[in-house]
């Protein structure tokens, strides 16, 4: 386990998956990340790469060859190398190898960088194409925040606050985790979404067209909360396991396959194309209060 800290926050990260394991507020003496209870969901904040969500038939086609890959890709199960560390920043790196090329025939350098400033954690994803052909990929976040935020309060004491008033639908998922053909109406000229565990009984709430660039988890009964900012992430998932005490706010550069997906990774919705020698960088921030 690795840690970075300042006078306000201590952040813990595992080398496996470069996965965030804790966001501890030193003054409040409070942990803001989900516990990872395997009775509900044993992860805390998996990094999604080189796909986000599921593939139709758990497979894709590239240059006429069929490859199999499980939901959210392989990075979350790989051991990353720490290539740089200071008291306030740590840099994890994953390189393509013989094992990854069997299921993902590309050369890449994928970095996850955690940086602390005051009460804010910045998480940066950097994808470098180290090969000689176009790199096709998606990348996304899956952090799970503890709700209720404070002992003695309840899940329904909390709500999500969007940075803009939203009128937008959600894209329902099939039993196989694929995006259905049409959205369902959901938000109507509002920036508030009351939290109820029933919201997530079907699956994640998937958005394609949010105007907001931040979502906060706030309490009706105290001033504690988190605010996640996600510039340049075109897709958003909000999810919890059934009856669990957490909410995931998931900014994505990519999305699950649709029911009509052809399987061709170069035609996949939300896929990113990176030319040889190119670099792709996206960051999201979580502010603790």
What's the pLDDT tens digit per position in 18-73?
999 999 999 999 999 999 999 999 999 999 999 999 999 999 999 999 999 999 99
Burial class (CB in 10 A: 0-12, 13-18, 19+), 198: exposed
Residue 96's Cβ-side half-sphere holds a number of Cα atoms within 13 Å equal to: 16
Tell me the C-alpha distance between 250 and 243, whole Å.
19
Query: Cβ distance 110 to 94 under 8 Å?
Result: yes
Where is 280: in which H helix or E strand? strand 279-288
> Which residues are within 8 A (CB) of 1 and not within 5 positions of it... i.e. 6 or more apart?
12, 13, 14, 21
Q: How far apart are CA 261 and CA 178, in angstroms?
A: 9
Going by pLDDT thresholds of 50, 70 and 90, the confidence category of residue 12 is very high
Q: Taking residues 117-143, report their average pLDDT.
A: 99
Q: Where are the alpha helices (DSSP H) in 35-168?
A: 98-103
How confident is the model at residue 183, as a pLDDT? Answer: 97
CA–CA–CA angle 242, 140, 51 (5° rounding): 95
Q: What is the model's pLDDT at position 248? A: 99
Max CA distance (Å), the chain:
57
pLDDT at position 88, please?
A: 98
Structure pTM? 0.96
The predicted structure's pLDDT at residue 235: 99
Encode pLDDT of 139-192 as tens digits: 999 999 999 999 899 999 999 999 999 999 999 999 999 999 999 999 999 999
- The two beta strands, 235-239 and 205-207, are antiparallel
Q: Which of 98, 109, 86 is nearest to 11 (CA)?
A: 86
Question: pLDDT exceeding 90 applies to what percent of the chain?
Answer: 98
Tell me the CATH number at 237: 2.70.98.10
Mapped onto helix, strand or coil, the DSSP state of residue 187 is strand
Q: What is the DSSP letter of 99?
A: H
Nearest in space to 160 (alpha carbons), one of 170, 152, 151: 170
Tally of domains in the chain: 1
Distance of alpha carbon 1 from alpha carbon 208, whole angstroms? 35
Residue 206, both tokens: 């998937």
- Reported as a pLDDT band with limits 50, 70 and 90, residue 207 is very high
Q: What angle do CA 283, 288, 289 make, to 5 degrees?
A: 145
> pLDDT class for 95, splitting at 50, 70, 90?
very high
Q: What is the pLDDT of residues 227-261, one digit of tens each?
A: 999 999 999 999 999 999 999 999 999 999 999 99
Residue span of the structural domain in which 50 resides:
2-288
Average pLDDT of span 120-135: 99
pLDDT tens-digit series, residues 264-279: 999 999 999 999 999 9
pLDDT, tens digit (0-9, with 9 covering 90-100), for 223-233: 999 999 999 99
Cβ contact 134:110 at 8 Å: no
Q: Residue 106: phi, psi to the nearest 5?
A: -135, 150
């Amino acid at each position: 386990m690795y840690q970075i800290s300042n006078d306000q926050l201590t952040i813990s990260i595992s080398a496996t998956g470069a996965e965030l394991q804790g966001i501890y507020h030193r003054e409040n003496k409070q942990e803001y990340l989900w516990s990872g209870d395997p009775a509900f969901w044993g992860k805390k904040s998996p990094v999604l790469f080189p796909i986000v969500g599921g593939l139709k038939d758990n497979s894709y086609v590239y240059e006429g060859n069929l490859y199999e890959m499980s939901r959210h890709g392989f990075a979350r199960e790989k051991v990353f190398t720490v290539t740089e560390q200071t008291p306030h920043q740590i840099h994890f790196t994953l390189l393509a190898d013989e094992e990854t090329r069997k299921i993902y025939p590309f050369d890449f350098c994928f970095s996850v960088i955690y940086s602390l400033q005051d009460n804010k954690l910045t998480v940066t994803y950097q994808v470098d194409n180290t090969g000689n052909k176009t790199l096709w990929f998606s990348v996304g976040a899956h952090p799970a925040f503890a709700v209720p935020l404070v002992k003695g309060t309840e899940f329904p004491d909390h709500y999500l606050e969007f940075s803009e008033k939203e009128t937008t639908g959600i894209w329902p998922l099939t039993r196989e985790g694929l995006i259905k053909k049409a959205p369902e109406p959901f938000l109507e000229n509002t920036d508030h979404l009351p939290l109820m565990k029933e919201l997530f009984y079907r699956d994640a709430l998937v958005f394609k067209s949010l105007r907001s660039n931040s979502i906060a988890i706030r309490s009706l009964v105290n001033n504690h909360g988190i605010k996640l900012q996600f510039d340049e992430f075109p897709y958003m998932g909000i999810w919890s396991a059934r009856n669990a005490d957490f909410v995931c706010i998931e900014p994505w550069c990519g999305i699950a396959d649709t029911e009509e997906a052809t399987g061709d990774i170069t035609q996949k919705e939300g896929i990113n194309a990176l030319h040889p020698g190119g670099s792709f960088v996206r960051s999201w921030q979580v502010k603790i209060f």
